[in-house]
Amino acid sequence: MSLRIYTRTGDTGQTGLFGGARVAKDDLRVEAYGAVDELNAAIGLVCAQWNDSEIVPLLQELQGLLLVLGGDLATPGTEVVTRGRVHIERIRPHDVEQLESLIDRFEEQLPPLTTFILPGGSPAAAALHWARVVCRRAERRCVSLWHAVGEDEENGMNPTVLSFLNRLSDLLFVLARVANRREGRADIPWTRGER
């Protein structure tokens, strides 16, 4: 017999964190990992509509890291946690460094920017820009959580999450530009018109 997707335990507006604590579904921690889940879905939309053999697998790896990040946020504290057979990892500084390496690698393929650009161009670029702004929202939710709980070992938040999301939004911006270039589309420069 397979497990059912519904448990009925959240019908009163509460959800469980890893470790058993129950919190309201609009708790800052739930808002933070919920925004990360939205980001993961936004990246999934990019992968579903673009068949770039280099970038799509990379985005899917990033989706896996976002699952780690969501588990990190859903688990109060800052240490790696193992309970029974469940092992909750944390986002590490090494993960941030890998994002920086990717940014550097892909930015080398692009002409320098001389003006602001509008989100858009090819469908893949537009979807990557959408993922970027969802990433910024997730970052804002995590900043709110950080301000509320800090780096307390027992109930706090892993501070590396903030650096990771900040770099990931930069990477998504660069990848949007790469998508336009690979699809033969120019970035759309912002020109200030008469108002």
Residue 10 pLDDT: 60
Residue 67 pLDDT: 96
Residue 23 pLDDT: 62
| pLDDT tens digit sequence for 73-110 | 998 877 777 766 777 889 999 999 999 999 999 999 99
- Determine which of 18-27, 40-49, 84-93, 146-155 has the lowest per-residue pLDDT on average: 18-27
Q: How many CB atoms lie within 10 A of CB 16?
A: 13
Residue 155 pLDDT: 83
Residue 71 sits at the vertex; the CA angle it makes with 151 and 83, to the nearest 5 degrees, is 90
* Parallel, antiparallel or unpaired: strands 117-118 and 188-189: antiparallel
Superfamily the domain 57-184 falls into: Cobalamin adenosyltransferase-like (1.20.1200.10)
Look up residue 142 and give its two tokens.
Answer: 């995590």
- Is the confidence at residue 9, as pLDDT, over 60? no
d(CA 135, CA 172): 9
Q: How many CB atoms lie within 10 A of CB 106?
A: 18
How far CA 155 is from CA of 45, 93, 172, in Å, comes to 33, 20, 31
Q: What is the mean pLDDT of residues 3-10?
A: 66
pLDDT category at 5 given cuts 50, 70, 90 is low
Q: Where are the domains of the chain?
A: 57-184
> H or E segment at 24?
strand 22-24
Report the percentage of the chain scoring pLDDT > 90.
69
Residue 95 pLDDT: 98
| pLDDT tens digit sequence for 134-154 | 999 999 999 999 999 998 878
- Is the confidence at residue 7, as pLDDT, over 90? no
- Is the confidence at residue 37, as pLDDT, over 90? yes
- Is the confidence at residue 57, as pLDDT, over 90? yes
Q: How many CB atoms lie within 10 A of CB 59?
A: 19
Q: Using the structure block, give the residue that is written with the tokens 């995590």.
A: 142
Q: Helix 160-182 and helix 123-149: axis angle, to 10°? A: 170
Residue 192 pLDDT: 80
- Kindly report the pTM of this predicted structure: 0.89
Contact 58/52 with Cβ under 8 angstroms? no
Give the ranges where the chain is alpha helix by DSSP (H): 28-49, 55-73, 93-107, 123-149, 160-182
- Is the confidence at residue 1, as pLDDT, over 90? no
